[in-house]
Structure 1
């Protein structure tokens, strides 16, 4: 799963999209966005969607699917 996230981070902007399912506050949430940064030291990824962004812990990820356009 981390390999997909890293590859999404290295692709050009139109192809970086991914659908991410993650655990937060007792529920699974889904988010479609762009992988903006992979921070291995802090063990989190930064997903950007529109003008907003969200940090998600890599340990809380359930699945990541790359969106091909």
Structure 2
């Protein structure tokens, strides 16, 4: 199974933030450590805009869109 998460952000959707079947895509890269100790780490495998996904049709079995 191949999964594309097109708006992965800091991967809050996933219990396993390194799910091996998933390609993580987001328009941005961002890192911030908050005073509370929480970390926001947006580090996609592919940096791209969901309005122009850089993959051919039918590359993935499932697309997750959780903006």
- Normalized against structure 2, the TM-score is what? 0.27
Larger radius of gyration: 2
Greater RCO (CA < 8 Å, at least 6 residues apart): 2
- Structure with higher helix content: 1
TM-score (norm: length of structure 1): 0.27
